[in-house]
Structure 1
Amino acid sequence: MKGVYVMCNNNKCRHMIAVDKKLKKCNKCRTNLREAYQDKIYIRYKNKWKHIPEGLKVAELEMSNLKNEVKGLTNKNDKIKFADVYNKQYLSYFQSQNKDYNKVRARQEAFYNYFEGYYLQDIKKIDVEGYINHLRDKDFKQSTLNRYLRVVTNFFNFCEQMELIDKSPAKYIKTNKEEQSEKYILSPIDEDNLLRVCRESKSSYLYYYVLIAIETGMRSSEILRLKWQDVSFDYETIYVTETKTGDNRIIPMTERLRASLTELFDLTGVTPHLFHNHKTGSHITDLKPSFTRAVKKLGLNISFHNLRHYFITRASQAGLSSLEIMQLSGHKDHKTLQRYSHLHIEQAQNSMKAIENYKKKLEAKKADDKVVNLSNVKKG
């Protein structure tokens, strides 16, 4: 049955094997699974594992009950309303997997409103394509369309995993090739002017919000969630939790950052969060409108996320390796990092000249070797 697994009894392997095929040997290390079938049976439901020590039959029964709960049906031929699955099962699951649900709420609502009147089994590939074309009429960017498409694929993958449908109708829908827009690179003068305008802003928090981004490359959500317990003035470090990737990290403070955080602590040190909202008792959730007004005043065409690009580019220019930059920025993927690290044209030209000079040296060495070989032939 789909969703039931056996764990390899080789402690060095511990590979999970689906019991659909009832393999007798681990398909990874080839260990005999006879003993494993006795007490190492697991079920996987909503991406969570549960050990079933009673054995295979109990595991299959429990998995069947869980799936029937999702369906709410006794007859497999009955049609299920899209709205029922979305509201009763999928939405709570999705919210548990996504901390910043509010950021994707508009995409979720657009998806729900379009398919609300459908029965789940009636939704075909052509219907999904119709939804994508409906979004294209709104003149979204390719990157935005891809984000809306991920909402669709996530939902139907969930339904397929729960065996509500045989195959996702979005399975072979291709994502759009995203346009690579050229990012504006801040100059040191831009940085000074930006911090000056932020200091003069009506928002008492804006200067510190922007400075932390410039000095650490942290994401907006990571900065706003910071608590004073995460800041160590003794060790001069910031402990970043609740990150986008789920991995915590430690960022050392620069001298300027330490001085600014000391200043901020004198203002708000009695509150749990660095950026505390006294009305809600929690952290401030958004300072971007204040930031937008500041950059508009300077005539800069940048978003807050550009400050992360700025930090990573400076780190690259300072000679830090990709691994060192990833440890500070919290990136997991080298390809993603490459999008952020923007070398100036002059530096890129210098790099190409260095490669060109190296090639010329190789060619000159080959020519010298050829002359030496010819002279040896004549002597012989």
Structure 2
Amino acid sequence: MAKRGENIYKRKDGRWEGRYVKERKIDGKIRYGYIYSRKYLEVKKKLMLLKAETLKEDIFQITYDGTLGDWLKLWLETIVKPKVKLSTYNSYKSKVQLHILPHLGAIPLQKLLPAEIDQWLVHLNAQLSSSSVHAVHRVLKNALSQALKQGLIVKNPSLMIELPKLEKQRIKAFSRQQQKMIKEAALKEKKYLPILIALETGMRIGEISALKWTDINFSEKTIHIQRTLQRLQVGIGKTALVEGTPKTFQSERILPLSNQLKSYLIEEKKTSYSPYVVGIKDSCTEPRTINYRFKKLQEELQISQLPFHALRHTFATRCLELGVNIATISSILGHTSTKMTLDVYTNSFMQDERKAMEKVAAI
């Protein structure tokens, strides 16, 4: 009988046998190694030395012969997919397929070096913006961190490299004159209702598409944002319109409804047969249709082509210009923090900065 925790046994032939964990396989199975001696203390000493070496070099890590590509596919399907939204999963999968697998996928997971990741980042930096490079690297880092947790690798090589400096993105918003032109044109046709809502509330396109009449409380003049709609890939060559929760916890919010927009929506509701504010019959109008109509309107007005999201930026920019405090704007937009709002709209403070300069110059 072995002493508790020792794994040392007396054999029938008189020798002592010590058993230790030699390796753990990817399926969780353990392969044992054995030490033999006529003397108990000699076996015990050898086992202690092996345990010390294990702590020092982690030689008992799980044996995994697959490539980085093999691991990324396994990670996406078994770890990422069950835990995140479909949109997040699709985003991760796209980054893996487009930017990671073609360059690093064939390298054995346990042989991936920081130098190889460094070279890969140089290639990415020549093709993508610094923020996109950071986003793709983050996916690789998360996948390798999980591999480290499962004992498939000794160190995470993605932590040992230097990323390109993040460049602040200049937000694109419409000028006051352009906003006036867009609003006047949108008021003339019912199909442009999403544009008015975006300009008046700063809502995201998916939130507008998913907005139902039951989300609007006309007596209290509020809009409750509690869902979003996106067209997402659900299979090879297949997409579907998917209703989900807002982007973040802060994105589920209640917005005040202006008197002007309230009056307009009340009139729209009188002729609506859809549960959706922007809908046809019993269905909604999906984001890509809203995007297409907005693009056509810009062409008709002959103004600079900007994405629908620029309407959200325009709303926030006008708020800043009118002196609305940053905490209020952050809450209306559903940002996770005021820091995020400040980071996005730093360039919109030029008017305030100019006033400050003039005041100092006048002293």
Q: What is the TM-score when the length of structure 2 is the normalising length?
A: 0.67
Q: 1:281-305 CA distances to partner (integer Å, 9 max, x unpaired)? A: 6661423233233324423143322
1:351 paired to 2:353: no
Q: 1:302-360 CA distances to partner (integer Å, 9 max, x unpaired)? A: 33222222212222232222222221111223332122254465542212233455xx5
Shift of 1:144: 2.4
Aligned counterpart, 1:74: 29
For residue 138 of structure 2, what is the amino acid of its counterpart? R
For residue 124 of structure 2, what is the amino acid of its counterpart? L
Kindly tell me: are residues 284 and 353 of structure 1, through their superposed partners in 2, closer, same or farther at Cα, counting changes over 3 Å?
Answer: same
Aligned counterpart, 1:37: none
Give 1:221's match in structure 2, choosing from 203, 206, 221: 206
Aligned counterpart, 1:302: 306
Aligned counterpart, 2:119: 130
Aligned counterpart, 1:288: 291
Aligned counterpart, 1:118: 107
Give 2:73's match in structure 1, choosing from 69, 87, 92: 87
1:265-280 matches, within 5 Å, as 265-271=269-275, 273-276=276-279
Q: Assess if the C-alpha contact under 8 Å between 2:67 and 2:109 holds in 1.
A: yes
Q: Assess if the C-alpha contact under 8 Å between 1:156 and 1:168 holds in 2.
A: yes
Aligned counterpart, 1:151: 139
For residue 118 of structure 2, what is the amino acid of its counterpart? E
Aligned counterpart, 2:158: 170
1:10-21 matches, within 5 Å, as none
1-structure distance, mates of 2:274, 2:206 = 21
List gaps (5 residues or longer) in structure 1. Answer: 1-67, 361-380
For residue 100 of structure 1, what is the amino acid of its counterpart? S
Q: Give the secondary structure class of the aligned counterpart of 1:239.
A: strand
* Comparing 303-312 and 174-183, the one that deviates more: 174-183
Matched residue count? 284
Kindly tell me: are residues 314 and 81 of structure 1, through their superposed partners in 2, closer, same or farther at Cα, counting changes over 3 Å?
Answer: same
Aligned counterpart, 1:49: none
Percent sequence identity is 21
1:256 paired to 2:260: yes
Kindly tell me: are residues 176 and 259 of structure 1, through their superposed partners in 2, closer, same or farther at Cα, counting changes over 3 Å?
Answer: farther
1:357-376 matches, within 5 Å, as 360=363
Q: Assess if the C-alpha contact under 8 Å between 1:312 and 1:341 holds in 2.
A: no
2-structure distance, mates of 1:164, 1:276 = 50
1-structure distance, mates of 2:142, 2:281 = 37
Kindly tell me: are residues 337 and 251 of structure 1, through their superposed partners in 2, closer, same or farther at Cα, counting changes over 3 Å?
Answer: same
Kindly tell me: are residues 258 and 276 of structure 1, through their superposed partners in 2, closer, same or farther at Cα, counting changes over 3 Å?
Answer: same
Aligned counterpart, 1:313: 317
Q: Give the secondary structure class of the aligned counterpart of 2:63.
A: coil
Q: What is the TM-score when the length of structure 1 is the normalising length?
A: 0.64
* Comparing 156-165 and 178-187, the one that deviates more: 178-187
The structure whose RCO (Cα within 8 Å, separation 6+) is larger is 2
1:208 paired to 2:212: no
After superposing on structure 2, the runs of 4+ consecutive aligned residues of structure 1 that deviate more than 6 Å are none
For residue 174 of structure 2, what is the amino acid of its counterpart? L
User: Alignment RMSD, CA only?
Assistant: 3.1
List gaps (5 residues or longer) in structure 2. Answer: 1-23, 31-61, 227-244
For residue 77 of structure 1, what is the amino acid of its counterpart? T
For residue 293 of structure 1, what is the amino acid of its counterpart? K
Shift of 1:129: 2.3
Shift of 1:253: 0.6
More strand by share: 2
Q: Give the secondary structure class of the aligned counterpart of 1:289.
A: helix
Q: Assess if the C-alpha contact under 8 Å between 1:316 and 1:341 holds in 2.
A: no
Kindly tell me: are residues 92 and 194 of structure 1, through their superposed partners in 2, closer, same or farther at Cα, counting changes over 3 Å?
Answer: farther
Q: Assess if the C-alpha contact under 8 Å between 1:217 and 1:307 holds in 2.
A: yes
1-structure distance, mates of 2:80, 2:272 = 35
Kindly tell me: are residues 159 and 290 of structure 1, through their superposed partners in 2, closer, same or farther at Cα, counting changes over 3 Å?
Answer: farther
Q: Give the secondary structure class of the aligned counterpart of 1:100.
A: helix
